[in-house]
Amino acid sequence: MKRFRMYRKADLSKTHNENQANPPEEPQFEGVLFSDGVVVVKWLTKKSSISIWNSFDDMMAIHGHPEYESELEWIDKVDL
């Protein structure tokens, strides 16, 4: 199991309100990648939710957002 955080460094104020995005220095969501490949994501924004993904690639295809200057930080440095 590996934990991670996603930051969005771009200015999101034109596309998101205060309920939908945190400041760039705060993570937008955190997650866990399980050893079987399943990913759970918990949003850290004011309006929060939890989602379950079949794979890390599926989650990143929806939430990766290079246009938001997304940066993924791995908390755990262990290999699966």
Q: What is the pLDDT of residue 78?
A: 61
The residues spanned by each domain of the chain are 2-74
pLDDT at residue 15 greater than cutoff 90 = no
Taking the C-alpha atoms of residue 15 and residue 35, their distance in angstroms, rounded to an integer, is: 34
Supply the mean pLDDT for the chain.
Answer: 92
Q: Could you read off the pLDDT of 33-58 as tens digits, one per residue?
A: 999 999 999 999 999 999 999 999 99
Q: What six digits make up the tokens of 25?
A: 């220095």
Taking the C-alpha atoms of residue 7 and residue 25, their distance in angstroms, rounded to an integer, is: 7
Torsion, Cα 55 31 5 24, to 10 degrees, reads 100
